[in-house]
Structure 1
Amino acid sequence: MRKMLLAALGLFVAATTTAAPFAWQGGAKAAVSLGYDDGLDSQLDHVVPALNKRGLRASFYVPINGPTLPARQNEWKAAAAAGHELGNHSLFHSCSAKGPGREWVQPHRDLDRQMAAQVQEQVIAANTWLQSLDGRTRRTFTPPCLDMQAGGQDFAAALRPQFVAYRAAGPGLVTDTAQLDPYAMPVYFVEGMNGAQLIDIVEQAAAKGAVVSLLFHGVGAEHLSVTREAHDQLLDHLARNKARFWTDSFVNIMENARMQAGR
Protein backbone atom coordinates (compact mmCIF):
# COMPACT_ATOMS: atom_id res chain seq x y z
CA MET A 1 0.00 0.00 0.00
CA ARG A 2 2.85 2.37 0.89
CA LYS A 3 4.46 1.77 -2.51
CA MET A 4 1.16 2.40 -4.26
CA LEU A 5 0.71 5.69 -2.39
CA LEU A 6 4.23 6.79 -3.20
CA ALA A 7 3.73 5.92 -6.87
CA ALA A 8 0.46 7.83 -6.95
CA LEU A 9 2.13 10.79 -5.26
CA GLY A 10 4.92 10.71 -7.82
CA LEU A 11 2.41 10.77 -10.67
CA PHE A 12 0.58 13.65 -9.02
CA VAL A 13 3.77 15.66 -8.54
CA ALA A 14 4.83 15.00 -12.15
CA ALA A 15 1.43 16.09 -13.41
CA THR A 16 1.45 19.26 -11.37
CA THR A 17 5.04 20.25 -12.11
CA THR A 18 4.81 19.78 -15.87
CA ALA A 19 1.90 22.24 -16.15
CA ALA A 20 3.06 25.84 -16.47
CA PRO A 21 1.25 29.04 -17.40
CA PHE A 22 2.11 30.49 -20.77
CA ALA A 23 4.39 33.51 -20.97
CA TRP A 24 3.18 35.32 -24.06
CA GLN A 25 5.20 37.65 -26.24
CA GLY A 26 5.67 41.13 -24.81
CA GLY A 27 4.01 40.14 -21.55
CA ALA A 28 0.59 39.80 -23.18
CA LYS A 29 -2.20 38.15 -21.20
CA ALA A 30 -3.48 36.07 -24.13
CA ALA A 31 -2.44 34.86 -27.56
CA VAL A 32 -5.21 35.50 -30.10
CA SER A 33 -5.37 33.65 -33.42
CA LEU A 34 -7.81 35.01 -35.98
CA GLY A 35 -8.38 32.45 -38.73
CA TYR A 36 -10.37 32.87 -41.94
CA ASP A 37 -11.45 29.84 -43.95
CA ASP A 38 -12.27 29.19 -47.59
CA GLY A 39 -10.39 32.00 -49.37
CA LEU A 40 -13.38 34.33 -49.77
CA ASP A 41 -13.62 37.69 -51.53
CA SER A 42 -14.67 39.52 -48.37
CA GLN A 43 -11.42 38.43 -46.74
CA LEU A 44 -9.36 40.15 -49.42
CA ASP A 45 -11.74 43.09 -49.83
CA HIS A 46 -12.21 43.91 -46.15
CA VAL A 47 -10.35 41.67 -43.70
CA VAL A 48 -6.78 41.97 -44.96
CA PRO A 49 -6.93 45.79 -45.25
CA ALA A 50 -8.60 46.04 -41.82
CA LEU A 51 -5.90 43.89 -40.21
CA ASN A 52 -3.07 45.72 -41.95
CA LYS A 53 -4.46 49.10 -40.91
CA ARG A 54 -4.33 48.04 -37.25
CA GLY A 55 -1.02 46.18 -37.39
CA LEU A 56 -2.60 42.80 -36.64
CA ARG A 57 -1.67 39.47 -38.23
CA ALA A 58 -3.90 36.49 -38.94
CA SER A 59 -4.14 33.15 -40.77
CA PHE A 60 -6.08 32.52 -43.98
CA TYR A 61 -6.93 28.93 -44.88
CA VAL A 62 -7.21 28.94 -48.65
CA PRO A 63 -8.22 25.83 -50.63
CA ILE A 64 -7.02 25.95 -54.21
CA ASN A 65 -10.57 25.66 -55.52
CA GLY A 66 -11.53 28.70 -53.46
CA PRO A 67 -13.56 31.42 -55.19
CA THR A 68 -10.69 33.92 -55.28
CA LEU A 69 -8.30 31.71 -57.23
CA PRO A 70 -6.64 32.03 -59.61
CA ALA A 71 -7.81 35.57 -60.37
CA ARG A 72 -6.67 37.11 -57.06
CA GLN A 73 -3.62 35.03 -56.20
CA ASN A 74 -1.35 38.08 -56.35
CA GLU A 75 -3.41 39.58 -53.53
CA TRP A 76 -2.85 36.44 -51.47
CA LYS A 77 0.87 36.77 -52.15
CA ALA A 78 0.69 40.35 -50.89
CA ALA A 79 -1.16 39.20 -47.76
CA ALA A 80 1.59 36.70 -47.05
CA ALA A 81 4.26 39.35 -47.64
CA ALA A 82 2.48 41.54 -45.06
CA GLY A 83 2.97 38.82 -42.44
CA HIS A 84 -0.27 36.84 -42.66
CA GLU A 85 -0.18 33.05 -42.78
CA LEU A 86 -1.57 31.17 -45.77
CA GLY A 87 -2.74 28.04 -44.00
CA ASN A 88 -3.57 24.68 -45.54
CA HIS A 89 -7.28 23.96 -46.08
CA SER A 90 -6.72 21.08 -48.54
CA LEU A 91 -6.98 21.17 -52.31
CA PHE A 92 -10.72 20.81 -52.79
CA HIS A 93 -12.38 21.34 -49.40
CA SER A 94 -13.68 17.78 -49.15
CA CYS A 95 -15.92 17.01 -46.16
CA SER A 96 -18.04 14.14 -44.94
CA ALA A 97 -21.58 14.29 -46.31
CA LYS A 98 -22.98 12.58 -43.22
CA GLY A 99 -25.14 14.40 -40.74
CA PRO A 100 -27.49 17.38 -40.81
CA GLY A 101 -26.44 20.44 -42.74
CA ARG A 102 -24.08 18.59 -45.05
CA GLU A 103 -26.39 18.45 -48.07
CA TRP A 104 -24.05 20.84 -49.89
CA VAL A 105 -21.21 18.28 -50.04
CA GLN A 106 -20.91 17.01 -53.61
CA PRO A 107 -20.51 13.24 -54.09
CA HIS A 108 -17.01 13.57 -55.59
CA ARG A 109 -15.97 15.71 -52.59
CA ASP A 110 -17.41 13.35 -49.97
CA LEU A 111 -14.66 12.16 -47.62
CA ASP A 112 -16.63 9.02 -46.89
CA ARG A 113 -16.09 7.98 -50.52
CA GLN A 114 -12.36 8.74 -50.53
CA MET A 115 -9.30 6.87 -49.31
CA ALA A 116 -7.08 8.20 -46.54
CA ALA A 117 -4.01 8.01 -48.79
CA GLN A 118 -5.81 9.98 -51.49
CA VAL A 119 -6.64 12.82 -49.08
CA GLN A 120 -3.11 12.82 -47.66
CA GLU A 121 -1.70 13.33 -51.15
CA GLN A 122 -4.08 16.24 -51.71
CA VAL A 123 -3.12 17.96 -48.47
CA ILE A 124 0.60 17.62 -49.21
CA ALA A 125 0.00 18.95 -52.72
CA ALA A 126 -1.79 21.96 -51.20
CA ASN A 127 1.32 22.67 -49.12
CA THR A 128 3.41 22.72 -52.29
CA TRP A 129 0.97 25.09 -53.95
CA LEU A 130 0.96 27.41 -50.93
CA GLN A 131 4.75 27.43 -50.86
CA SER A 132 4.72 28.65 -54.45
CA LEU A 133 2.72 31.66 -53.23
CA ASP A 134 4.55 32.56 -50.03
CA GLY A 135 7.89 30.72 -50.14
CA ARG A 136 7.29 29.26 -46.66
CA THR A 137 7.57 25.68 -45.46
CA ARG A 138 6.14 26.09 -41.93
CA ARG A 139 2.37 26.39 -41.70
CA THR A 140 -0.75 25.06 -39.99
CA PHE A 141 -3.73 23.00 -41.14
CA THR A 142 -7.46 23.34 -40.69
CA PRO A 143 -9.26 20.20 -41.96
CA PRO A 144 -12.37 21.34 -43.84
CA CYS A 145 -15.41 20.91 -41.58
CA LEU A 146 -12.85 19.69 -38.98
CA ASP A 147 -13.33 16.21 -40.49
CA MET A 148 -10.25 14.00 -40.16
CA GLN A 149 -11.43 10.68 -41.52
CA ALA A 150 -11.66 9.50 -45.11
CA GLY A 151 -13.33 6.23 -45.95
CA GLY A 152 -13.62 5.54 -42.22
CA GLN A 153 -9.87 5.93 -41.62
CA ASP A 154 -7.90 8.70 -39.94
CA PHE A 155 -6.00 10.61 -42.62
CA ALA A 156 -4.70 13.43 -40.42
CA ALA A 157 -2.40 11.65 -37.96
CA ALA A 158 0.13 10.70 -40.63
CA LEU A 159 0.29 14.33 -41.82
CA ARG A 160 1.46 15.75 -38.48
CA PRO A 161 5.15 16.01 -39.53
CA GLN A 162 4.03 18.35 -42.32
CA PHE A 163 2.52 20.94 -39.96
CA VAL A 164 3.20 22.97 -36.84
CA ALA A 165 -0.38 22.52 -35.59
CA TYR A 166 -3.99 21.74 -36.49
CA ARG A 167 -7.11 23.72 -35.68
CA ALA A 168 -9.18 20.62 -35.21
CA ALA A 169 -11.33 20.61 -32.06
CA GLY A 170 -14.45 22.27 -30.74
CA PRO A 171 -14.47 25.58 -28.85
CA GLY A 172 -12.31 26.03 -25.80
CA LEU A 173 -9.26 27.71 -24.29
CA VAL A 174 -5.81 26.22 -23.73
CA THR A 175 -4.63 27.76 -20.49
CA ASP A 176 -1.31 26.06 -19.71
CA THR A 177 1.45 23.97 -21.26
CA ALA A 178 0.09 20.68 -19.94
CA GLN A 179 -3.13 21.19 -21.90
CA LEU A 180 -1.35 21.85 -25.18
CA ASP A 181 -2.01 19.32 -27.93
CA PRO A 182 -0.79 21.00 -31.14
CA TYR A 183 -2.83 18.64 -33.32
CA ALA A 184 -6.15 19.06 -31.51
CA MET A 185 -6.28 22.79 -30.92
CA PRO A 186 -9.75 24.11 -30.10
CA VAL A 187 -11.40 26.79 -32.20
CA TYR A 188 -14.48 28.96 -31.73
CA PHE A 189 -16.97 29.06 -34.62
CA VAL A 190 -18.07 32.69 -34.56
CA GLU A 191 -20.68 33.00 -37.32
CA GLY A 192 -23.53 35.31 -36.32
CA MET A 193 -21.74 36.69 -33.25
CA ASN A 194 -21.81 40.39 -32.51
CA GLY A 195 -18.88 42.52 -31.46
CA ALA A 196 -19.55 42.18 -27.74
CA GLN A 197 -19.64 38.40 -27.98
CA LEU A 198 -16.36 38.28 -29.91
CA ILE A 199 -14.69 40.60 -27.42
CA ASP A 200 -15.99 38.50 -24.52
CA ILE A 201 -14.21 35.41 -25.88
CA VAL A 202 -10.82 37.11 -26.07
CA GLU A 203 -11.35 38.68 -22.64
CA GLN A 204 -12.01 35.22 -21.20
CA ALA A 205 -8.71 34.14 -22.72
CA ALA A 206 -6.90 37.11 -21.17
CA ALA A 207 -8.33 36.30 -17.75
CA LYS A 208 -6.86 32.79 -17.99
CA GLY A 209 -3.59 33.51 -19.82
CA ALA A 210 -4.78 31.32 -22.66
CA VAL A 211 -4.35 30.82 -26.36
CA VAL A 212 -7.62 31.33 -28.19
CA SER A 213 -8.50 30.71 -31.84
CA LEU A 214 -11.48 32.23 -33.65
CA LEU A 215 -12.76 30.78 -36.93
CA PHE A 216 -14.31 33.19 -39.43
CA HIS A 217 -15.68 32.65 -42.92
CA GLY A 218 -17.47 35.54 -44.60
CA VAL A 219 -17.24 39.05 -43.15
CA GLY A 220 -20.20 41.15 -44.21
CA ALA A 221 -20.92 38.75 -47.08
CA GLU A 222 -20.93 35.10 -48.20
CA HIS A 223 -21.55 32.15 -45.90
CA LEU A 224 -21.29 31.58 -42.12
CA SER A 225 -20.67 35.29 -41.81
CA VAL A 226 -20.31 37.95 -39.18
CA THR A 227 -21.05 41.60 -39.90
CA ARG A 228 -18.28 44.02 -40.75
CA GLU A 229 -19.28 46.06 -37.73
CA ALA A 230 -18.84 43.11 -35.35
CA HIS A 231 -15.52 42.19 -36.93
CA ASP A 232 -14.22 45.76 -36.78
CA GLN A 233 -15.27 46.09 -33.14
CA LEU A 234 -13.15 43.04 -32.30
CA LEU A 235 -10.16 44.31 -34.29
CA ASP A 236 -10.43 47.74 -32.67
CA HIS A 237 -10.46 46.13 -29.22
CA LEU A 238 -7.39 44.03 -30.01
CA ALA A 239 -5.57 46.99 -31.53
CA ARG A 240 -6.32 49.26 -28.55
CA ASN A 241 -5.07 46.61 -26.16
CA LYS A 242 -1.93 45.26 -27.83
CA ALA A 243 -0.17 45.13 -24.47
CA ARG A 244 -2.76 42.56 -23.32
CA PHE A 245 -3.40 40.65 -26.55
CA TRP A 246 -0.72 39.13 -28.76
CA THR A 247 -2.62 38.83 -32.05
CA ASP A 248 -0.61 36.92 -34.63
CA SER A 249 -0.74 34.13 -37.17
CA PHE A 250 -1.58 30.69 -35.83
CA VAL A 251 1.76 29.31 -36.99
CA ASN A 252 3.70 31.94 -35.01
CA ILE A 253 1.57 31.47 -31.90
CA MET A 254 1.83 27.69 -32.02
CA GLU A 255 5.58 27.66 -32.60
CA ASN A 256 5.88 29.83 -29.49
CA ALA A 257 3.46 27.68 -27.47
CA ARG A 258 5.19 24.45 -28.49
CA MET A 259 8.55 25.86 -27.50
CA GLN A 260 7.17 26.76 -24.06
CA ALA A 261 5.69 23.28 -23.68
CA GLY A 262 8.81 21.54 -24.98
CA ARG A 263 6.87 19.82 -27.79
Structure 2
Amino acid sequence: MQPVKLILIACLLGNSLLSCAQNNTNWKNKKCAVALTYDDALNIHLDQVIPALDSVGLKATFYLIGSSDAFTKRIPDWRKAAAKGHELGNHTLFHPCYGKRPGREWVRPERDLNNYTLQRMTDEIKMNSVLLEATDGKKKRTLACPCGDTKVQDSSYLYGLKNNFVGFRDGTPDANAVNPFAKVTVQWVTVFDNTGDQLIAAVKQAMEANALLVFVFHGVGGDHNINVSAAAHRQLLQFLKQQESQVWVAPFVEIAEYAKSK
Protein backbone atom coordinates (compact mmCIF):
# COMPACT_ATOMS: atom_id res chain seq x y z
CA MET A 1 0.00 0.00 0.00
CA GLN A 2 1.30 3.44 -0.90
CA PRO A 3 1.99 5.87 1.96
CA VAL A 4 -0.99 8.06 2.70
CA LYS A 5 -0.66 11.53 4.12
CA LEU A 6 -3.94 13.22 5.01
CA ILE A 7 -3.73 16.80 6.25
CA LEU A 8 -6.84 18.90 6.82
CA ILE A 9 -6.15 22.56 7.46
CA ALA A 10 -8.80 24.89 8.83
CA CYS A 11 -8.76 28.30 10.45
CA LEU A 12 -11.76 28.41 12.72
CA LEU A 13 -14.00 31.07 14.19
CA GLY A 14 -17.22 29.38 15.20
CA ASN A 15 -18.38 27.75 11.98
CA SER A 16 -16.63 30.20 9.67
CA LEU A 17 -13.40 29.71 7.78
CA LEU A 18 -10.87 32.53 8.03
CA SER A 19 -7.59 33.19 6.34
CA CYS A 20 -4.90 31.33 8.24
CA ALA A 21 -2.82 34.50 8.11
CA GLN A 22 -5.11 35.90 10.84
CA ASN A 23 -3.91 33.28 13.31
CA ASN A 24 -1.65 34.72 15.99
CA THR A 25 -1.97 32.16 18.74
CA ASN A 26 0.74 32.26 21.38
CA TRP A 27 1.47 28.61 22.10
CA LYS A 28 3.35 29.31 25.33
CA ASN A 29 5.80 31.42 23.33
CA LYS A 30 6.42 28.60 20.86
CA LYS A 31 5.74 28.36 17.15
CA CYS A 32 3.09 25.65 17.28
CA ALA A 33 1.33 23.10 19.44
CA VAL A 34 1.37 19.37 18.73
CA ALA A 35 -1.06 16.82 20.14
CA LEU A 36 0.05 13.21 19.78
CA THR A 37 -3.12 11.10 20.02
CA TYR A 38 -3.52 7.33 19.88
CA ASP A 39 -6.87 5.63 19.29
CA ASP A 40 -8.55 2.38 20.28
CA ALA A 41 -6.81 1.25 23.50
CA LEU A 42 -4.18 -1.06 22.01
CA ASN A 43 -1.72 -3.24 23.88
CA ILE A 44 1.08 -1.86 21.77
CA HIS A 45 0.36 1.61 23.15
CA LEU A 46 1.23 0.35 26.62
CA ASP A 47 4.06 -1.94 25.56
CA GLN A 48 5.83 0.21 22.96
CA VAL A 49 4.40 3.70 22.52
CA ILE A 50 4.33 4.92 26.13
CA PRO A 51 7.91 3.73 26.81
CA ALA A 52 9.01 5.53 23.61
CA LEU A 53 7.26 8.74 24.71
CA ASP A 54 8.64 8.51 28.23
CA SER A 55 12.17 8.01 26.90
CA VAL A 56 12.09 11.51 25.40
CA GLY A 57 9.86 13.13 28.02
CA LEU A 58 6.80 13.72 25.80
CA LYS A 59 3.18 13.44 26.94
CA ALA A 60 0.30 12.24 24.76
CA THR A 61 -3.41 11.40 24.70
CA PHE A 62 -4.70 7.83 24.50
CA TYR A 63 -8.35 7.55 23.45
CA LEU A 64 -9.67 4.47 25.23
CA ILE A 65 -12.63 2.21 24.47
CA GLY A 66 -14.09 1.13 27.80
CA SER A 67 -15.04 -2.37 26.60
CA SER A 68 -11.66 -3.12 24.98
CA ASP A 69 -9.72 -6.04 26.44
CA ALA A 70 -6.56 -3.95 26.27
CA PHE A 71 -8.26 -1.56 28.68
CA THR A 72 -10.25 -3.84 30.98
CA LYS A 73 -7.44 -6.36 31.44
CA ARG A 74 -4.71 -3.72 31.93
CA ILE A 75 -6.28 -1.01 34.05
CA PRO A 76 -3.26 -0.80 36.43
CA ASP A 77 -1.01 -0.12 33.42
CA TRP A 78 -3.27 2.66 32.14
CA ARG A 79 -3.38 4.10 35.67
CA LYS A 80 0.42 4.23 35.66
CA ALA A 81 0.39 5.96 32.27
CA ALA A 82 -1.97 8.63 33.61
CA ALA A 83 0.23 9.11 36.66
CA LYS A 84 3.12 9.88 34.29
CA GLY A 85 1.10 12.72 32.71
CA HIS A 86 -0.54 11.06 29.73
CA GLU A 87 -4.22 11.80 29.10
CA LEU A 88 -6.74 8.97 29.10
CA GLY A 89 -9.25 10.29 26.59
CA ASN A 90 -12.79 9.08 25.95
CA HIS A 91 -13.29 7.04 22.77
CA THR A 92 -16.75 5.78 23.85
CA LEU A 93 -17.74 2.56 25.56
CA PHE A 94 -18.19 0.36 22.46
CA HIS A 95 -16.77 2.38 19.50
CA PRO A 96 -19.99 2.65 17.45
CA CYS A 97 -19.69 3.85 13.83
CA TYR A 98 -21.88 4.09 10.75
CA GLY A 99 -21.83 0.59 9.30
CA LYS A 100 -23.47 1.39 5.98
CA ARG A 101 -20.46 3.07 4.42
CA PRO A 102 -17.79 1.62 2.12
CA GLY A 103 -15.18 -0.30 4.06
CA ARG A 104 -17.30 -0.52 7.20
CA GLU A 105 -18.20 -4.20 6.91
CA TRP A 106 -16.44 -4.75 10.24
CA VAL A 107 -19.12 -2.77 12.14
CA ARG A 108 -21.44 -5.21 13.89
CA PRO A 109 -25.19 -4.41 13.82
CA GLU A 110 -25.32 -3.79 17.57
CA ARG A 111 -22.45 -1.27 17.20
CA ASP A 112 -23.92 0.49 14.17
CA LEU A 113 -24.82 4.14 14.85
CA ASN A 114 -27.75 3.71 12.47
CA ASN A 115 -29.29 1.50 15.18
CA TYR A 116 -28.56 3.88 18.07
CA THR A 117 -30.63 6.57 19.74
CA LEU A 118 -29.18 9.90 20.83
CA GLN A 119 -29.83 8.99 24.47
CA ARG A 120 -28.04 5.66 24.17
CA MET A 121 -24.98 7.28 22.64
CA THR A 122 -24.67 10.00 25.26
CA ASP A 123 -25.28 7.51 28.07
CA GLU A 124 -22.52 5.22 26.83
CA ILE A 125 -20.06 8.11 26.47
CA LYS A 126 -20.82 9.35 29.99
CA MET A 127 -20.39 5.83 31.38
CA ASN A 128 -17.01 5.56 29.69
CA SER A 129 -15.99 8.78 31.42
CA VAL A 130 -16.98 7.19 34.74
CA LEU A 131 -14.70 4.24 34.00
CA LEU A 132 -11.84 6.53 33.07
CA GLU A 133 -12.30 8.66 36.19
CA ALA A 134 -12.20 5.48 38.29
CA THR A 135 -8.89 4.71 36.56
CA ASP A 136 -7.09 8.06 36.74
CA GLY A 137 -9.14 10.11 39.23
CA LYS A 138 -9.56 12.98 36.78
CA LYS A 139 -12.71 14.80 35.71
CA LYS A 140 -11.34 16.96 32.88
CA ARG A 141 -11.20 15.00 29.64
CA THR A 142 -11.56 15.18 25.87
CA LEU A 143 -13.59 13.02 23.50
CA ALA A 144 -12.61 11.51 20.14
CA CYS A 145 -15.57 10.31 18.09
CA PRO A 146 -15.11 6.81 16.64
CA CYS A 147 -14.59 6.92 12.86
CA GLY A 148 -15.17 10.67 13.05
CA ASP A 149 -18.93 10.03 13.14
CA THR A 150 -20.61 12.63 15.33
CA LYS A 151 -24.30 12.15 14.55
CA VAL A 152 -27.09 9.73 15.40
CA GLN A 153 -29.53 9.94 12.52
CA ASP A 154 -29.51 13.69 11.72
CA SER A 155 -28.63 14.94 15.21
CA SER A 156 -25.15 15.55 16.55
CA TYR A 157 -24.52 14.07 19.97
CA LEU A 158 -21.77 16.63 20.70
CA TYR A 159 -24.03 19.55 21.64
CA GLY A 160 -25.51 17.61 24.54
CA LEU A 161 -22.01 16.74 25.78
CA LYS A 162 -20.28 20.10 25.41
CA ASN A 163 -20.30 20.69 29.17
CA ASN A 164 -18.88 17.23 29.87
CA PHE A 165 -15.62 17.69 27.98
CA VAL A 166 -12.88 20.28 27.66
CA GLY A 167 -12.78 19.69 23.91
CA PHE A 168 -13.51 17.30 21.06
CA ARG A 169 -10.76 15.89 18.86
CA ASP A 170 -12.70 16.12 15.61
CA GLY A 171 -12.85 18.52 12.69
CA THR A 172 -16.55 18.23 11.85
CA PRO A 173 -18.70 21.40 11.73
CA ASP A 174 -20.51 20.48 14.96
CA ALA A 175 -17.20 19.77 16.74
CA ASN A 176 -15.86 23.11 15.53
CA ALA A 177 -18.96 24.81 16.91
CA VAL A 178 -18.42 23.50 20.44
CA ASN A 179 -14.60 23.41 20.55
CA PRO A 180 -12.54 26.21 22.14
CA PHE A 181 -10.30 26.77 19.10
CA ALA A 182 -11.59 30.09 17.79
CA LYS A 183 -9.08 31.87 15.54
CA VAL A 184 -6.76 28.87 15.66
CA THR A 185 -5.25 27.15 12.66
CA VAL A 186 -5.88 23.44 13.18
CA GLN A 187 -4.00 20.89 11.10
CA TRP A 188 -4.62 17.13 11.16
CA VAL A 189 -2.55 14.14 10.14
CA THR A 190 -4.26 10.75 10.13
CA VAL A 191 -1.19 8.52 10.25
CA PHE A 192 -1.24 5.55 7.87
CA ASP A 193 2.03 4.12 6.53
CA ASN A 194 3.69 7.53 6.61
CA THR A 195 7.45 7.87 6.64
CA GLY A 196 9.23 9.66 9.43
CA ASP A 197 10.16 12.43 7.00
CA GLN A 198 6.49 12.97 6.10
CA LEU A 199 5.53 13.25 9.76
CA ILE A 200 8.33 15.71 10.41
CA ALA A 201 7.29 17.76 7.35
CA ALA A 202 3.84 18.13 8.89
CA VAL A 203 5.39 19.56 12.07
CA LYS A 204 7.46 22.02 10.06
CA GLN A 205 4.30 23.12 8.23
CA ALA A 206 2.56 23.68 11.56
CA MET A 207 5.51 25.75 12.79
CA GLU A 208 5.24 27.97 9.73
CA ALA A 209 1.48 28.38 10.19
CA ASN A 210 1.58 28.91 13.98
CA ALA A 211 -0.89 26.02 14.12
CA LEU A 212 -2.25 23.33 16.36
CA LEU A 213 -1.22 20.03 14.77
CA VAL A 214 -3.12 16.89 15.78
CA PHE A 215 -1.60 13.51 14.95
CA VAL A 216 -4.11 10.63 14.92
CA PHE A 217 -2.29 7.32 15.44
CA HIS A 218 -3.65 3.80 15.72
CA GLY A 219 -1.13 0.97 15.36
CA VAL A 220 2.54 1.80 15.84
CA GLY A 221 4.66 -1.09 14.66
CA GLY A 222 1.57 -3.30 14.41
CA ASP A 223 -1.58 -4.20 16.39
CA HIS A 224 -3.93 -2.38 13.98
CA ASN A 225 -4.58 -2.26 10.25
CA ILE A 226 -4.14 1.53 10.33
CA ASN A 227 -0.46 1.43 11.13
CA VAL A 228 2.83 3.29 11.01
CA SER A 229 6.26 1.78 11.55
CA ALA A 230 7.89 2.06 14.94
CA ALA A 231 10.93 3.58 13.20
CA ALA A 232 8.89 6.40 11.63
CA HIS A 233 7.18 7.07 14.95
CA ARG A 234 10.52 7.15 16.75
CA GLN A 235 11.94 9.56 14.16
CA LEU A 236 9.03 11.93 14.79
CA LEU A 237 9.48 11.80 18.57
CA GLN A 238 13.19 12.51 18.28
CA PHE A 239 12.50 15.52 16.05
CA LEU A 240 9.89 16.86 18.48
CA LYS A 241 12.36 16.51 21.34
CA GLN A 242 15.01 18.38 19.35
CA GLN A 243 12.51 21.18 18.63
CA GLU A 244 11.05 21.47 22.14
CA SER A 245 12.15 25.10 22.39
CA GLN A 246 9.89 25.91 19.42
CA VAL A 247 7.18 23.20 19.57
CA TRP A 248 4.79 22.69 22.49
CA VAL A 249 3.87 19.00 22.76
CA ALA A 250 1.12 18.27 25.25
CA PRO A 251 -1.96 16.10 25.81
CA PHE A 252 -4.97 17.32 23.87
CA VAL A 253 -6.83 18.25 27.07
CA GLU A 254 -4.05 20.65 28.09
CA ILE A 255 -3.96 22.29 24.67
CA ALA A 256 -7.76 22.66 24.64
CA GLU A 257 -7.74 24.19 28.12
CA TYR A 258 -5.02 26.62 27.06
CA ALA A 259 -6.96 27.65 23.95
CA LYS A 260 -10.10 28.14 26.03
CA SER A 261 -8.24 30.35 28.53
CA LYS A 262 -7.10 32.61 25.70
TM-score interval, normalised by the smaller of the two chains: 0.7 to 0.9
Distance 1:71 1:48 in 2: 17
> Is 2:241 aligned against 1:239?
yes
Structure with the largest fraction of strand: 2
Say if 1:167 and 1:187, in contact at 8 Å, map to a contact too.
no
1:105 to 98, 104, 107: 107
Structure with the largest fraction of helix: 1
| TM-score in terms of structure 2 length | 0.85
| More RCO (CA 8 Å, sep 6+) | 2
**Structure of greater Rg:** 1
Say if 1:34 and 1:248, in contact at 8 Å, map to a contact too.
yes
> Is 2:96 aligned against 1:91?
no
Distance 1:210 1:155 in 2: 27
CA displacement, residues 189-243 of structure 1 (integer Å, 9 cap, x when unaligned): 1111110011111110011111110000010012201000000000000011110
Letter in 2 for 1:195: G
* Alignment correspondent of 2:250: 248
* Alignment correspondent of 1:23: 26
Q: Compute the displacement of 1:178 (Å).
A: 4.2
Summarize the alignment of residues 37-56 of structure 1 with structure 2, pairs less than 5 Å apart. 37-56=39-58
Distance 2:229 2:206 in 1: 22
Say if 2:30 and 2:247, in contact at 8 Å, map to a contact too.
yes
* Alignment correspondent of 2:176: none
1:134 to 121, 133, 136: 136
* Alignment correspondent of 1:11: none
Paired residues, what number? 235
* Alignment correspondent of 2:3: none
Distance 1:135 1:228 in 2: 31
CA displacement, residues 143-198 of structure 1 (integer Å, 9 cap, x when unaligned): 1001011233221211111011111127xxxxxx64349xxx66321111110011
* Alignment correspondent of 2:9: none
Distance 2:114 2:155 in 1: 9
Say if 1:168 and 1:186, in contact at 8 Å, map to a contact too.
no
1:117 to 116, 119, 125: 119
Letter in 2 for 1:109: R
Gaps of 5+ in 2: 1-17, 173-180
Summarize the alignment of residues 222-237 of structure 1 with structure 2, pairs less than 5 Å apart. 222-223=223-224, 224-237=226-239
Summarize the alignment of residues 160-199 of structure 1 with structure 2, pairs less than 5 Å apart. 160-169=162-171, 178-180=182-184, 187-199=188-200
RMSD (CA atoms)? 1.9
CA displacement, residues 51-98 of structure 1 (integer Å, 9 cap, x when unaligned): 111010000000112231322111100000000000000000011112
Q: Compute the displacement of 1:20 (Å).
A: 5.2
Seen in structure 2, the aligned counterparts of structure 1 residues 150 and 178 have a Cα distance that, compared at 3 Å, is closer
- Percent identity, please: 38
Gaps of 5+ in 1: 1-14, 171-176
| TM-score in terms of structure 1 length | 0.85
